[in-house]
A and B are shown apart, each in its own frame.
Chain A
Amino acid sequence: MHTYIDKIREIASRLLKEEAVEMVIGYQEGTLPMISPPMSVRSAEDVEKLTWSSHCCINLANYLTDIKGKVAVFAKGCDCRSIVNHIAEGKVKREDVVIIGVPCNGMMERRTISNIFGDEIEEVVEEADGTVIVRGKGREEKYQKSDLLRQCCRVCVHKNPVLYDELVADPVAIPEDIQRYKEVEKIEAREIDKRWKFFENLISTCIRCYACRDACPTCYCPTCFVDEAQPQWVGKGDDEPDVMTFHILRAFHTAGRCTDCGACVSACPMGINMRAFTKKLEKDCLDLWDWEAGLTSDMRPALETFTPSDPEDNFK
């Protein structure tokens, strides 16, 4: 059992009993192993349903958009930055949300676990020392959690919440040797045709279910451009140009706002790493404007503002 769980239930129960909030948004135990779906708790009796694990991949900031009434939410480092984003963009008021920060050592990638284990998995247990025990089909294997982390968690440098009302545990240490943009640099080093082939392959299995969009806290347009029928910006089939257009535009809409929480990848039923698009934009925002999303709600996001000193190398 995760060491955070008792504290999480205690905080949730206290907030609900004191009527400080109407609802607590957290995670529950899933019906399948390795998935912790989000859940909202409205009464103190139900807090026992709340849990925490290394499968809390979904970004709970997604449920705060235009929410009515006062709510509490559990937020990892990345989720917290998404909430700051929401505050900056006026989608949630700071005084309406109680942020319970959860210092995070990374979430695990369920596909990696399935691939390494091979057989059907019945149970995954985490030990406090970072060992993960996987059980299924009558056998048991032990792994290190650090080998099973999601890609986005491996390169994360904002593991601790940036804005919170209370913390579930002490902040975690951030390793100094993280190469944040290794994946992007690997793609950048390739020739242009190879890059196109890479992205073509990347999205070739996309079924246009839009789970990535629905899981993304930055995607909150009342009508998404892909659902628009008049005008119809993009075809609805699985034609490659349409699929590519969807992914390019989805990524652009998150430019300067994406916190690399990886909810899109975790939600994808086909296991597409669409972070390859958004991570490049994140790198560009940092390189060009020294901007990282969700660190402060006092500044406007990178693409919402301009200064005379902005680089114009691309302009003739």
Chain B
Amino acid sequence: MLTHIGIEPERLQFSWISSAESTKFIDVVTEVVEAVRKVGPNTRLVKNMVREP
């Protein structure tokens, strides 16, 4: 449903990784980071936080 309402599918990734699959973990994380970097900073569902000076 998240992609249905317009959240980019690149930001929404699922994977099964066993605690013994360290190389798979590295591969998946690298892929996710690359995919998210490609779509750029997220603008949806982001609150404009007003920070105290």
Contacts and interface: CB of A to CB of B under 8 A. Distances in A.
A192 B15 contact: no
B16 to A, nearest CB: 6
B19 interface: no
Contacts of A314: 14
Of the listed residues B4, B14, B16, the one surrounded by the most CB atoms of chain A closer than 10 A to its CB is B4
B42 to A, nearest CB: 11
Given A281-B1, A315-B15, A316-B28, A199 B6 contact: yes
B22 interface: no
B23 interface: no
A192 B1 contact: no
Contacts of A252: 1
B47 interface: yes
B14 A316 contact: yes
Contacts of A244: 45
Interface in A226-254: 235, 239, 241-242, 244-245, 248, 251-252
Interface in B4-50: 4-9, 13-16, 28, 31, 44-47
A316 B13 contact: yes
A188 interface: yes
A31 B9 CA distance: 48
Q: A interface, by DSSP: helix, strand, loop or mixed?
A: helix
Contacts of B7: 196
A284 interface: yes
A277 B47 contact: no
A316 B8 CA distance: 17
A196 B6 contact: yes
A159 B3 CA distance: 31
A119 B46 CA distance: 42
Interface of B: 1-9, 13-16, 28, 31, 44-47
Given A192-B8, A316-B31, 17 more contacts: A192-B9, A193-B6, A195-B6, A196-B7, A196-B44, A197-B6, A198-B6, A199-B5, A241-B46, A242-B47, A245-B45, A255-B1, A277-B1, A280-B1, A281-B1, A315-B14, A315-B16
23 contacts: A187-B4, A188-B4, A192-B3, A192-B8, A192-B9, A195-B4, A195-B6, A196-B5, A196-B44, A197-B6, A199-B5, A235-B47, A241-B45, A245-B45, A248-B5, A277-B1, A277-B5, A281-B1, A315-B14, A315-B16, A316-B13, A316-B15, A316-B28
